[in-house]
Amino acid sequence: MATLEPTVVYDTFWRFAAERHAIYERRMSGSPGPWTKDPILLRYRFTNAYRAADRVSQYLITEVQNGPGRSQDPREVFFRTILFKLFNKIETWRHIERECGAVSFGSTNLEDVDRALEELRIRTPIYSAAYIMPSPKLGGLRKHTNHLALVRLMMRERLAERLHQSAGLADVYEKLRAYPGVGRFLAFQYAIDINYSEMLRFDEGAFVVAGPGALDGISKCFGSTSGLTPEQVIMRVTERQHEEFSSRGINFKGLFGRPLQPIDCQNLFCEISKYSRVAHPEIPGLAGRTKIKQIYRTDPQPLAPPRFPAHWNLGIKPAFR
């Protein structure tokens, strides 16, 4: 790579990506665990190589966006998606539906949702720990009240319709970014999530935004990036995946034939930032962190048949659609 200076962590990046995806494939095939011999992957928890294959993304695609009886009207799809992703926690969504009924823009009263979340908040965290979720300043006393006010604002300003008419993923990102409390990283994540649905059908390969974890991972993988932006680095790495896997003798077949996309490589840079704390402690990166907090706990339950966006046209068995 002419303009990048790879470190030993860059080699590990590709081996990690391949092995983490192989774990997913072994679990999906029904093979009994353990699904790897890698001691770090056995001890610590890492996300899938493909973002859409992770548990929360699968719940979003399968249940929130495409569950039985769910309307595919763009306003309804957006309303459900953004309400789910603001908390990014399956248990919170299930509580909302238990207390308030099936979520629908046409029938869900956000005041009722506010009361349900206030009751739940007393007993357990209602937000996922995956992202830092800043509270928009919209007049509420509680964080969740302000997030519900944000949903109201988005719907009142017909954001769903405007996103549906967007020119591409970058345009979706810019429209989301304009809202209070929605920073660069969250706007990109929401754009990807909405794009899983059929209200948008944009190419994931056209746009990416690097999050804090990816910035640290990039700093560990390269001694110098020769002035390239983090997003340019991610794009360059994504474009080179076939050569990189091949040069290491790795037969990487992708997600039912789908190559890694920039969003996936963005996530992988974040994950290699964590993995290298143990594998390469001599390379501190930007953050200088030395420990991995998330311990892996074996889930004996088999993985449910996955579902991915129909417009991806994956070579997947009909039983898994």
Q: Mean pLDDT over residues 152-179, rounded?
A: 98
d(CA 99, CA 33): 37
Does the pLDDT value for residue 154 go beyond 80? Answer: yes
pLDDT, tens digit, for every residue of 115-145? Answer: 999 999 999 999 998 878 889 999 999 999 9
pLDDT confidence bin for 317, thresholds 50/70/90: low
Query: Residue 318 has what pLDDT?
Result: 40
User: Of all residues in the chain, what percent carry a pLDDT higher than 70?
Assistant: 98
Start-to-end CA distance of the chain, whole Å, equals 38
Tell me which of 299 and 207 has the higher pLDDT.
207
Among 146, 195, 203, which residue's Cα sits nearest to residue 175?
Answer: 195
d(CA 316, CA 275): 30
d(CA 274, CA 292): 6
pLDDT confidence bin for 296, thresholds 50/70/90: confident
Cα–chain-centroid distance for residue 110?
A: 25
Sign of CA dihedral 7, 9, 11, 14: negative
Does the pLDDT value for residue 164 go beyond 60? Answer: yes
Using CA atoms, how far residue 234 sits from 172, 208, 239, in Å, is 20, 8, 9
Residue linked to tokens 């590709």: 14
Report yes or no: 65 and 77 within 8 Å, Cβ to Cβ: yes
Whole-prediction pTM: 0.94
For residue 225, the SS3 value is coil
d(CA 7, CA 26): 30
Query: Residue 165 has what pLDDT?
Result: 97
d(CA 189, CA 65): 16
Tell me which of 265 and 290 has the higher pLDDT.
265
DSSP classification of residue 190: H
pLDDT confidence bin for 170, thresholds 50/70/90: very high
Q: Mean pLDDT over residues 6-30, rounded?
A: 97
User: Would you put residue 101 in left (φ > 0), alpha (ψ -120 to 50) or beta?
Assistant: left
| 5-6 vs 222-224, strand pairing mode | antiparallel
Q: Mean pLDDT over residues 143-152, rounded?
A: 98
Q: Mean pLDDT over residues 176-202, rounded?
A: 97
Query: Residue 2 has what pLDDT?
Result: 55
User: Of all residues in the chain, what percent carry a pLDDT higher than 90?
Assistant: 87
DSSP classification of residue 303: P
What H or E segment, with its residue span, contains residue 206? none
Cα–chain-centroid distance for residue 87?
A: 13
pLDDT, tens digit, for every residue of 65-102? Answer: 999 999 999 999 999 999 999 999 999 999 999 999 99
Q: Mean pLDDT over residues 229-255, rounded?
A: 98
Query: Residue 321 has what pLDDT?
Result: 38
Query: Residue 151 has what pLDDT?
Result: 98
